[in-house]
Amino acid sequence: MAIAIAVVILIIGSVLFHFWSPWWLTPIASNWGMIDDTINLTFAVTGFVFVAVNGFLAYVIIRYRHRDDKRATYEPENKKLEWWLIGLTTVGVAALLAPGLVVWAKLVDVPEDAAQVEVVGQQWHWSFRYPGADGVLGKVNSRLVNEDNPFGMNPDDPAGRDDILVRGNELRLPLDEPVKLLLRSKDVLHNFAVAQFRVKMDLVPGMVPYLWFTPTRTGKFDILCEELCGLGHFAMRGHVVIDERDDYEAWLSKQVTFADTLKQTKGDAVAGKILYGTCASCHGQGGQGNVALNAPKLSGQSGWYMTGQLKNFKSGVRGADENDPYGQQMAQMTALLYDDKAISDVAAYIRTLPDTPAPTTLESAAAKGAQIYSTCAACHGSNGQGISAMNAPRLAGMSDWYLVTQLNNFKAGVRGSHEQDKYGPQMLLMTSMLKNEQMVTDLVAYINTLGKPE
């Protein structure tokens, strides 16, 4: 009897929990209401079977409970009952699967007027490419991918010249217009998923899978990489902003085309030398760094990273937090660098400075740090040399005390939590695994042992 009551409570409890559950689908923001309908139908079918089977169980426990004067009969076969069960199960399974086929057929049948946008995934961030005025995406080839051409654009294809290249994790799309997203991966499997649009698809290297939807609500929605295999996909975050047409166009017109990136100058070290005069008072004549002034070593750091950071300081993405006094100091200095050209120039000059490894200031258990560093190596390289494709700077041979302050800054959210920060948030997630100060110093002690990079 007690068991029968427990089973009935289980049934009622589960059904009530289903309707009152705090975990439910996020409000939908696309045309894919059909996906929700199929999910609801699945719940209805499995819910009905759950109630029926368990209700039957409770009934049988009471109805056929042990009585001294009764004996069970043995009835191994019942053709009529079996036909009923086969029939009902078939209907149930068909109801579970058939609607999925119908929805899938629609999901791969893209409307003719859908705009095309390419989504590029790589370890561990997103970037996006729009076809530009001609409406045609230019040819790409993974052999052409390098630091200056991250999309692997083919410079000989005229259709690619006006392609709009969005580096950074923000995709923008106009409201109420169907869009086809072409999914391209530069390295491993990834998975593009936006819960509010009810779309989700793997990116497979060497193929271009696609999906389509029509956004039905303005707002900002998270893009997640929901790939399980491999490392670090959880750090691959981005977002989609759905705008009214005018706002979308205003934003799009501010993005750079492939032709623009071809024109960008490399930076002039001679002009940069004059600008560097002021920087030298803190970072040293040779860019060797000065611990007393909290100014890190710059010589030997890559140009793309320094220009990115200088732009971050200048725009307030880095060094604006009130708990970041050193970042604030540096941010003020970027007033001297009046434009992007000045920034490339000074970085070009720093690239000419001799690269001698910074002196070690830490004593700690490097061996323990080695273990933790294996995760960091995926982005910063196994020798701490930095990997531009990951946007991860060089760490080896740089000021060790500075690495410690930066890890603590990320950990405290003083750096990397600005909403315009493209790559900092990845480090925010990474430093959450550094549980205490000891782990931080062990780790940096290990980085100190890494070879001098090329």
The residues that touch ligand HEC, with contacts defined as CB under 6 A, are 124, 232, 235, 275, 278-279, 281-283, 293-296, 298, 301, 306, 308-310, 326-327, 329-330, 333, 336-337, 346, 372, 375-376, 378-380, 390-393, 395, 403, 405-407, 423-424, 426-427, 430, 443
Q: What are phi and psi of 387, to 5 degrees?
A: -135, 115
Residues 207 and 210: their CA atoms lie apart, in Å, by 10
Q: Which does 279 bind (CB under 5 to 8 A by kind): Cu ion, ligand HEC, none?
A: ligand HEC
Residue 238 is a binding residue for Cu ion (CB under 5 A):
no
Residues 77 and 48: their CA atoms lie apart, in Å, by 26
Report the 10 Å Cβ neighbour count for 62. Answer: 12
Q: How far is the CB of 325 from ligand HEC (least distance, A)?
A: 8
Choose among 138, 239, 123, 234: nearest CA to 189.
Answer: 123
Nearer to ligand HEC, 137 or 346 (CB): 346
Q: Which does 310 bind (CB under 5 to 8 A by kind): Cu ion, ligand HEC, none?
A: ligand HEC
Q: Which does 302 bind (CB under 5 to 8 A by kind): Cu ion, ligand HEC, none?
A: none
Q: How far is the CB of 203 from Cu ion (least distance, A)?
A: 8
Residues 194 and 201: their CA atoms lie apart, in Å, by 10
Residue 233 is a binding residue for Cu ion (CB under 5 A):
yes
Among 225, 269, 347, 379, binds Cu ion (CB under 5 A): 225
Size of the site for Cu ion (CB under 5 A): 5
372: left (phi over 0), alpha (psi -120 to 50) or beta: alpha
Ranges of H-type helices in 109-183: none
Report the 10 Å Cβ neighbour count for 239. Answer: 17
**Concatenated DSSP letters of 283-333:** H-TTS--BGGGTBPP-TTS-HHHHHHHHHHHHHTSSS-STT-HHHHHHHHH
Nearer to ligand HEC, 211 or 295 (CB): 295
Contacts of 53 (CB under 8 A, 6+ apart): none
Residue 184 is a binding residue for Cu ion (CB under 5 A):
no
Rg (CA), the chain: 29
**155 CB-side CA count, 13 A:** 12
Nearer to ligand HEC, 30 or 122 (CB): 122
Nearer to Cu ion, 219 or 230 (CB): 230
Nearer to ligand HEC, 11 or 379 (CB): 379
Nearer to ligand HEC, 126 or 210 (CB): 126
Q: What SS3 state is found at 116?
A: strand
Partnered with residue 179 across adjacent β-strands are 115, 213
Q: How far is the CB of 225 from ligand HEC (least distance, A)?
A: 11
Binding part of the chain for Cu ion, among 185-193, 263-271, 324-332, 355-363 by CB under 5 A, reads 185-193
Residue 321 is a binding residue for Cu ion (CB under 5 A):
no
Residue 444 is a binding residue for Cu ion (CB under 5 A):
no
Q: Which does 269 bind (CB under 5 to 8 A by kind): Cu ion, ligand HEC, none?
A: none
Report the 10 Å Cβ neighbour count for 285. Answer: 11
Q: How far is the CB of 147 from ligand HEC (least distance, A)?
A: 14
Nearer to Cu ion, 169 or 309 (CB): 169
Nearer to Cu ion, 190 or 198 (CB): 190
Q: How far is the CB of 272 from ligand HEC (least distance, A)?
A: 9
Residue 426 is a binding residue for Cu ion (CB under 5 A):
no
Q: Which does 233 bind (CB under 5 to 8 A by kind): Cu ion, ligand HEC, none?
A: Cu ion
Residue 120 is a binding residue for Cu ion (CB under 5 A):
no
Q: How far is the CB of 309 from Cu ion (least distance, A)?
A: 25
300: left (phi over 0), alpha (psi -120 to 50) or beta: left
Q: What SS3 state is found at 209?
A: coil
Nearer to ligand HEC, 164 or 379 (CB): 379
Residues 441 and 447: their CA atoms lie apart, in Å, by 10
Classify residue 264 by its DSSP letter. -
Residues 171 and 135: their CA atoms lie apart, in Å, by 17
